[in-house]
Each structure stands twice: as C-alpha cells, then as structure tokens.
Structure 1
C-alpha cells in the first residue's frame, strides 16, 4: 500500500483533501495496534496487516479493512473509489456514521473483556496437552496446517508437562518440532537465526523476515530441550541463534535491534537463496557438489527457481552414512564451506534492518541469554545480557523510574506498556539466577511494583495493556492470548509467583493468585492458546522448590555446585545465593529465606527446600545429586 497508494499523488490528494492520515508503527504503539485490530476483527470477521481504519475525530472507528489497492483489483475496492464514497457519507450522513462508531466501540469493548474469571487447576494443563496432541503434525512437527509459526512457548510448556507427568508423547512432539524447524529452510543454515514463520507444512519456505522476539523465545526452548535431554544438537542451534543476534542484531551500546526485512532489492528472500552455479563459483567443483547434495541446492530449485538451503530430506548424519565418510570430516568440510558462503553472501545487498530497540523484545532476549549462560556455563552470554539490561535501564528508564518502550538514534519515546515491564522483569529474574547480582533482583522487584501501580485493574484483577498515565484510547484492553509472542499478563503471572517466593511477600503471592484467577475463565475456553500462562500455572501448582547456596561464588567448590544446578532443567525451582560477605545483609533483607542458611565448615553449602520444608544441608556434589535426584 505504501508503494501503490501512499506515495501516489492521486491517492495522496484524496487523503489530504478529506482525511487526516496517521501512519502507526505497530511495534512502537502496540496499544493502538491491539485495539484497532480488534475493531477490524469485530467489523470484518478477520484481521491482518496492513491494517486500515477510518474513525471519527473522537477516535471512534466506523470502517476497517486490511489491504486496499489504488484501483479496484483482486475483487477488492480501490482507494480511489472508496475514499470519495466515505467522504460523501461523512458529509451527508454524519449522525448515522457517529451512531455506527458508538456501536463498533461497544462491540469491541465486549470482545476485549479477556479476563473472564474462573477457578484454576492443574487439569487445564491436561486439557492443553490433549489439544496439542490432536493438532500435532506427526510427519513434520509443529501444530496445525500451513502457515506454521514456531510459537516456541507451546513447546516449553510441553517440556514442563513431560517433567510433571512423564508423558513420552509430550517430549516426542517437542523433539520432532525442534528438529523439523532447525532442518528446514525457516532456519538460516548459512548465517543462523530463524525466520518468522514457514509458509508450508514442511518448514521449507519461510517468510524471510527475522524477528528478535522469535529468536529469543526459540533460544529459550532449544536451551530447555538441551537441559532436559542432554542432546548437543539443541545446544548448537541455541548457540548459533545467539551468534547471529550478537553479530548482526546488537547495537554498539549492547541492546538488540528489532528485525530484519524479508526482501532486498525488492524481492522477498533474494538475500538468502542460491543457485548451484553460484555455489560452484564460491567453493569450487568438489566442495560445491558436496554442499549442494547435502543442503538440497538444485538446478530446478525449491523457491521460484532458486534454492533455500535445508536438511529436510537428509541430515548431515544421513549424508555421512550415504557417502561412507566419517561424520567429523563431513562436518568440518561443510563448516568450512558455510564460512566461505557466508562471507560471499555478506557482499550481497542486505535486507533492511529495523534498528529500533524495543524494551519488551530486549527483555525476552535478556531472558534467553541468561538461560543459555546457565545451561551452557558460558558467562559471556550473561555478560551480553547484562550489557543489554544496562542499556535499557540507562536509556529507556526516566529519572522517575518510568520505563519507555522504544529507543532509536538517541531518542527514547512512548510510555512503556505491560509487555515492556513484564518481559524485562522476566529477563532480570533469569539474569539474577545466572549471575547472582543482587541489584538485578532488586530492580526486578521495583519494576514489578511499578507495573502493578500503573497497570493493575483494582476492580477485576489482571493488568491492562497500557498504563493509567498513558494516552487513553476508547477502552483499556487486556491481552492474555499467547500467540506468536506471549502476552504480558502471562509473563506477569510467572514473575509475580517467582518474586513472591524470593521476597517472601504474602501480598504479592495473593496478587499472583488473583492474576491467574482473573483470566482462568478465558484460558479455560482455549487452553492451548495460553502456553506461557499455563507455564505460570504449572509453576504455581507444582511443589515449590527453593535452592539456597551459601558460600563464596569465586571459589571452585561453589562454582562447581552452581554449575551442577544451573545446567539442569528445573523450571519450577528458584535459586539464590547467600554470599557470606559484605553483601550478605542486603541479600538477607531482600531474600528472607537465606537468613539461617549459612556455609558449613568453610565449604560451599546447598539447602534444598521443597513443599515449605528444607532438607539437611549438603556440601558434597555427589550428595547434591542424590538430594536433587539429578
């Protein structure tokens, strides 16, 4: 529409004559996007982008749609026909249109009552599993038909369900999907990172746009799968995603950019696809033949006459067996070829990079890096997360403490939304557990308090999407659906439950329960659409586990103990450090549980507390294994 209409003089003339045109960046103003997308769905029965809304000067909408060409085509009215008709109606029948806008507002408000109260129970987890089982694509992995979105929080929920129940099918669905996605063309086998979604059921042809939030959430899930299964392949995918983010999507200040476009030179996917002749030019005859055979790069191609590298038909292990070649040799040769192809591809015209820094998406990446730092024992990942957190807290937090949503070119703007608070707090909690820097947990507590003050609904519970101090639209929606990206309310539920345990705060614990109860009725209608919410529920209804480590984190015995615990999949445990040094008083003040948990005999000591009772302290790693049944 931008190229066809908004930059066209005829269309611009019509728009400027009768309308005030406002172009909204949906990532900078998700409050507007959420609200008016609901309007479009209420008026037309469907939604999507580009989103086109026409409203009264009071911001009350009366017309909605998605794509409109300049002139009539594809059976759609064109703007040249539509705009004069609407302008005439406004002049001649204004009262009728205003009445329609009131009706639209009323209908939209009724649809946005997301918090239907209900009773929460673990049975919701069973119901969600049964829905996932029914929707599962046993041949290719994933759920439902094309297009397929990664929606990795569904998989993270299933990992927790497997840990809770031992149901092998839950784990099998996760593994099939993770393997399918990483072998398909949705994964960038040359430069790493995942595209936004697959247009087909096989994960072969992506919509080539790469989003920060997808790659953050997928890092989380691949890391958790590695912790649970010990399979190195999952760790490798997570590390490759991180390599892509650090290399291509990191600002010099340490924060993370938002996205890379799908197209370059006006063609979708042009940057990412290949022909065999180009591979030969880069690699030479022998290595190109090997690379093309393994990664399915052919003369006929698999995407508009070109080839998207993929491993769908044959894994590297399969290729080594078929070629009677040692696996290590094949891996080494393919990696050498990948590096050459990557260097060659870097000389192409790159897709546009959206270098906005969004607080919410950075929060998700901080969370993912912290999880990777723990699971893989790589402090450099925690350092990258710490730099990003420092940037956000320095550049996107006002002097009065209020978070802002977006930073670009030295300018921070827009009051932070629920997602900004909830995702950043999630990231800070995970980063505390990766580094045991008390300041991170203190900041998480402060931001969570601010979130409740600004967003909490005192009447019905749950959090509104935008703050009480923000621009007041015609209604204040609440979002609970965990779609391509999870909702702020779901993350807030998990955060409140964790922080209540850390700080031993009964009032916050009550708030966490109210948060779950506020949306339980909505979640009950479609449990599988609320994966992160159910992860918070799983955390809440599981036997609580707190792990207190007492000792000097600089000493080898404590480092070994920390590593033993951090590398395991313990989704419903919280871990804290009692350092026994000058910071001990501050730790005891914030985390009352550590009060009487002291180092024994000068050795690193672990206290495992389950179901509100603490086991005998352990100072030996083998004893710790027995205690945790790791």
Structure 2
C-alpha cells in the first residue's frame, strides 16, 4: 500500500484535502496497534497488516480494513473510491458517523475487557495442552498447522518442559522434528545465519525474508534448551550461529540490539539471499561449486522464482557424505570454507534495510537468550554481551527524573513510556543474567522494575496487567494481552517472574500476586491451552516442585566454578540458582536472598545445597553427587 496508494499523487491529494493521515509504527506504539486491530477484527471479522483505520477527530474509529489497492480490483474496494465516499458521507452527516464510532468503541471495549477467569487451571491443563499440540502437529514437516508456518518457539519450549516432567517421548519428538526441519529449510540463512520471520509453505522452504530480533532470541533459547535435554551438539551449534548473526549484524556500538532486517533489497523480496548455480561456481570454482550446489538444492530451474534458496530439506550432511563417500569431517570443513567465501561475496551485494531502533522488550528477550547460552555452553562472552545490553537499557531507556522505563531508543533519543512487555521481558532478562553472572545488581534491578510494573500496570479490580501504564496516554480502552502470538505475552512472562522472584526474595506478597495473575487469565488458558505456552510454563512452575540450588563458595575458585558448571549444564526449568560468596558480598546476597543465609562452605570447600520447597538435602562438595541430587530431586 505504501507504493500503490500513499505514494500515488491522486490518492495523496485526496487524503490531504479531507483527512489528517497518521502513520503508526506498530513496534513503537503497540498499544495503538492492539486497540485498532481489535477494532478491525470486530468490524470485519479479521485482522492483519497493513491496517487501515478511519477515525473521527475524537479518534473514534468508524471504518477499518487491511489491504486496499489504489483502485477497485478483484472485488476489493480501492483507496480512491473509499476516500471519496467517506469524505462525502462526513460532509452529509458527520453526527451519524460519530454515533457509529461510539457503537464500535462500545463493542470493542466489551470484547477486550471480557473477564477471562471463569475457569480453574490445574496440572490437567498441561496435559490437555499437550494433546492439542499433538493433534495440530505436522508429522511430515514439523511445526503445527498448515502454511504459513511461524517458528513460535515458546510452544516448543513448553513441550520440552512437558517432556522433562512426564517423560513422554512424543513431546520431545515433536520438538526435535520441528527444530531440525526449521534449520534445514530455507527459513534458516545457511550462509549468514539467523532465522527469517516465517515460512510461506509447510516445508519451511520459502521464507518471508525479514529477520526479527525477537524470533532469533526465542529460537536461541529453544535450541539451547534442546541441547541441554538431548545433549546433541547440533542444537548448540545452531544457537551459536544465531548468536553470531545477532552480534555481527544486529548489535549497536553501545551493546544493545537492533530490531529487524527487511525482506527486500533493490525493490525485490529475498534478492539479497538467493543464488544461481553460475553465481556459486564463480565464487567457489567448478568442483566445490558443484558440490555445494548439489548439497544445498541450487539448480538451474530454481526453487524460488527462478532463483535458489539454499536448503537441506531433501538431505543432511551425514547422508550426503555417505552417498558421496566423503568423510563427514572433511565434508564439514569443505562446506564451511565454501560458506565463508559465499558470505564474503554476498556482503558485496546491496543489503536489505536495517531497522536500527532499539526496543526494550525485544532486547530483554535477547538478554534472556544470551544468558541461557552463556550458562549452558560455558561461554562467558555471551554473558558479557548480555550484560552490555542490559547496562545500555538501564542507562539509556529509563527516564532520568524518575526511572520510568521507556520503550524505544534511536539516534540518541529514548521515547514512549514502556509497556508491560518492556517491563516483563527486561525483568526476565535480568533474572537470567543474574544466574549467568551472579552480579547481584541485576537481581536488584529486576526486583525494582517488577515493583514498578505492578504499580503502573496491575488491575486492582480483576487482576492481571494492563498493556499500557496508568500514567500513559489513555486510549479507547486499556487492554490486557494474554495470547502468545509470534512472541509470548507480557502477562505470561510476568507470571513466571513473579513466581521466581517471590521464592528468591521470600516475598509472600509477590507469591499472592502470582496466584492472582494465574487466576485472572484462567478462563482464557483453559479455553485454549496451546495459545498460552509461556503461561503454561508458569503453571508448570506453580504446580510443580521448584528447586533452589545454592552454591556456597568463592566465585574465583575452580571448585566453585565446577559446581556451577554442573548445574548450568543441566536442563532445570524450575530451578533457581544462587551463588553465596563469603565476606561483604555474601552479606549483600543474604539481605536480598534470605534462603542463602545458612548455606556456608563446608570445611572451607565450595559446597552445593539442593533444596525443594525450602527443605534441603545434605550439602555436598562432590560433583557426581551433585549431579545425582539434581536428577533424583525432580528438579527436571
């Protein structure tokens, strides 16, 4: 529509004559987007982008739709006709249009403010969710449902939790099939790394080539978790490649992360990413070029509009090596050498545009991902990158006068009061970062921001968190988001944060608020559990038996680090990890985390305490005994 309508002289003249045109960046103003998308859905029965809404001067919506061509075609009204008709009706009877706007507001508000309790969540909800995931699973191609297919890795993360809880092999099978299929498909950038936003087909071959920070953050988390559960190195390798992409192409000089890379370059979607056999041969030479092209499905006829998206859908490195009688290690070295050359060549092309705004919420998710990867892979550099991003947000995306979190930073300017996602995802990131670095200041910041979130967003009447704060611009209504779409909801992340912080800080009030949070949305979750994967993770934490693991010892000593690494290696989604050093640092830990108070090194040696519901096993200094305790204790 930008090209067809808004850059068209005729349409522009009509709009400028009778309307004030406002273009909204839905990532900067998701509050506006959520509300007017709900309006569109209420009026038309469907939503999507581009979203076009006509409002009265009082901001009351009276006409909405998604894509409108310049002029009528395919039985779809065009902007020229719509703009002329609306302008005419406004001249004839503006009052009637205002009345329509009032009716639409009333209908939309009642829909958005429906009380979503009216149900009772229990452990049974987790089992029902699993059954529904199983029903929707695509056993041939992985993923859920039909095309287009989105990664929605939080669904896979829930299934990993469910597998660890129940041991049901089908849960892990669905995860592995999907992770493998997504990585082998064209949705993954096999030359420069990172995932595109979604696949337009059911085989994950043809992506919408846009790369989003949040997708890559969430997928990093899930591949790391899969590595911890299965101990398969391939999942760790994918996670590391995604991180390499983000740190290389999506990182600001200050350490925070950019939002996205466009799908288009030179006016064509995917042009930057596709190849012909001749291009590959020019870069690699005939022998290596033929090998690479055969492996990655690069043919004369092409697999995408006459060009080729490199993919491994029909083969794997292992089966290809066997068929070609090439030792697997040798093949891997040759393919990596080829990738490096192709990447260097591709870098000379005109790049897609980069959305270099820094969003607090999406950065929070990337901090979570880096912190998880740092722990599981024993890569301190990832924790350093996470800390640098966190420090940037805490310095530049908080209002100086009162510490109010802001949503967006770009070109030296921070703007827009933070939404619930900004608070919830950053608090999540800070909790994970504490467990990666054991710098207590990050946990303190998490506690403070969590308190501020409850003050600004909590609904005292019905529970749950509104999407925008009580101090923000008041729109038609104050919605609460609970459904997990491309990203999990802020309310779900907040529920998990509340549960974890209440146990870390012994705060009974936070525990009560967490219970109210789960109950506030019980109706929605029970009605369709798979739509609320992260809330299911919070339920799993609440109904399970979370563990508290305290490592008492000097963080600089080898034996302390060995105990920490033993814990970090394991998949422990419902465990809290605390480091209790000696001296002044230990005093500070005890003030914030009372659980650590009586957990001291035995005989001067680093010691591990594994507790469940605040009752602890005998402490140990032995690595194997610690591993046995973690396995036997149901920490999984």
Query: TM bucket by the smaller chain?
Result: over 0.9
| Partner secondary structure for residue 362 of structure 1 | helix
CA drift of 1:114 comes to: 5.5
Distance 2:180 2:373 in 1: 19
Distance 1:110 1:133 in 2: 33
CA drift of 1:297 comes to: 0.5
Q: Residue in 2 aligned with 1:6?
A: 6
Distance 1:114 1:315 in 2: 49
Distance 1:372 1:74 in 2: 49
Distance 2:606 2:352 in 1: 51
Q: Residue in 2 aligned with 1:286?
A: 287
Q: Is the 8 A contact 1:115 1:522 kept in 2?
A: no
Q: Residue in 1 aligned with 2:151?
A: 150
Q: Is the 8 A contact 1:114 1:480 kept in 2?
A: no
Cα distance per residue 1:109-151 (max 9 Å; x no partner): 1221265113221111111100100000000100000000000
Distance 1:407 1:307 in 2: 37
**Matching residue within 583, 589, 592 for 1:590:** 592
Q: Is the 8 A contact 2:192 2:245 kept in 1?
A: yes
Q: Residue in 2 aligned with 1:206?
A: 207
Q: Is the 8 A contact 2:15 2:83 kept in 1?
A: yes
CA drift of 1:220 comes to: 0.2
Q: Is the 8 A contact 2:112 2:479 kept in 1?
A: yes
- Please provide the CA RMSD for this pair: 0.8
| Partner secondary structure for residue 93 of structure 1 | helix
Q: Residue in 1 aligned with 2:166?
A: 165
Q: Residue in 1 aligned with 2:48?
A: 48
1:490 paired to 2:492: yes
Q: Residue in 2 aligned with 1:252?
A: 253
| Partner secondary structure for residue 414 of structure 1 | strand
Q: Residue in 2 aligned with 1:109?
A: 109
Distance of aligned partners of 1:157 and 1:133 in 2 relative to their CA distance in 1, 3 Å threshold: same
| Partner secondary structure for residue 399 of structure 2 | coil
Distance 2:95 2:114 in 1: 31
Q: Residue in 2 aligned with 1:122?
A: 123
Q: Is the 8 A contact 1:544 1:612 kept in 2?
A: no
| Partner secondary structure for residue 582 of structure 1 | helix
| Partner secondary structure for residue 33 of structure 1 | helix
Q: Is the 8 A contact 1:262 1:351 kept in 2?
A: yes
Distance 2:531 2:629 in 1: 36
Q: Is the 8 A contact 1:115 1:462 kept in 2?
A: no
Q: Residue in 2 aligned with 1:579?
A: 581
| Partner secondary structure for residue 64 of structure 1 | strand
Distance 2:627 2:284 in 1: 49
Matches within 5 A, 1:423-438: 423-438=425-440
Cα distance per residue 1:377-433 (max 9 Å; x no partner): 000000000000010011101121100000000110000000000000000000000
Distance 2:82 2:406 in 1: 38
| Partner secondary structure for residue 446 of structure 1 | helix
Q: Residue in 1 aligned with 2:413?
A: 411
CA drift of 1:2 comes to: 1.3
CA drift of 1:593 comes to: 0.4
Distance 2:579 2:308 in 1: 51
CA drift of 1:99 comes to: 1.5
CA drift of 1:612 comes to: 3.0
Q: Residue in 2 aligned with 1:215?
A: 216
Q: Is the 8 A contact 1:115 1:520 kept in 2?
A: no
Q: Residue in 2 aligned with 1:313?
A: 314
Q: Residue in 1 aligned with 2:178?
A: 177
Segments of 5+ residues of structure 2 without an aligned counterpart are none
Q: Residue in 2 aligned with 1:21?
A: 21
| Partner secondary structure for residue 584 of structure 2 | coil
Q: Residue in 2 aligned with 1:345?
A: 346
Matches within 5 A, 1:213-252: 213-252=214-253
Q: Residue in 2 aligned with 1:515?
A: 517
| Partner secondary structure for residue 49 of structure 1 | coil
Q: Residue in 2 aligned with 1:261?
A: 262
Q: How many residues align?
A: 630
CA drift of 1:100 comes to: 1.2
CA drift of 1:188 comes to: 0.2
Q: Is the 8 A contact 2:567 2:627 kept in 1?
A: no
Q: Is the 8 A contact 1:425 1:444 kept in 2?
A: yes
Distance 1:57 1:525 in 2: 38
Q: Residue in 2 aligned with 1:619?
A: 621
Q: Is the 8 A contact 1:147 1:201 kept in 2?
A: yes
| Partner secondary structure for residue 583 of structure 1 | helix
Distance 2:213 2:628 in 1: 39
Q: Is the 8 A contact 2:376 2:568 kept in 1?
A: yes
Q: Is the 8 A contact 1:162 1:171 kept in 2?
A: yes
Q: Is the 8 A contact 1:36 1:53 kept in 2?
A: yes
1:536 paired to 2:506: no
Q: Residue in 1 aligned with 2:95?
A: 95
Segments of 5+ residues of structure 1 without an aligned counterpart are none
Q: Residue in 2 aligned with 1:443?
A: 445
Q: Residue in 2 aligned with 1:375?
A: 376
Say which is worse superposed, 580-589 or 444-453, in terms of deviation.
580-589
Cα distance per residue 1:558-591 (max 9 Å; x no partner): 0000000011100000011111122111111100
Q: Is the 8 A contact 1:114 1:479 kept in 2?
A: no
Q: Is the 8 A contact 2:420 2:467 kept in 1?
A: yes
Say which is worse superposed, 614-623 or 115-124, in terms of deviation.
115-124
Cα distance per residue 1:322-372 (max 9 Å; x no partner): 001100000000000000000000000000000000000000000000000
CA drift of 1:626 comes to: 2.0
Distance 2:374 2:47 in 1: 39
CA drift of 1:64 comes to: 0.3
TM-score, normalized by length of structure 2?
Answer: 0.98
Distance 1:5 1:206 in 2: 26
Distance 1:26 1:372 in 2: 30
| Partner secondary structure for residue 413 of structure 1 | strand
| Partner secondary structure for residue 579 of structure 2 | strand
Q: Residue in 1 aligned with 2:386?
A: 385
Distance 1:212 1:465 in 2: 21
Cα distance per residue 1:232-273 (max 9 Å; x no partner): 000000000000000000000000000000010000000000
Distance 1:535 1:251 in 2: 32
| Partner secondary structure for residue 226 of structure 2 | helix
Q: Is the 8 A contact 1:300 1:306 kept in 2?
A: yes
Distance 2:60 2:302 in 1: 49
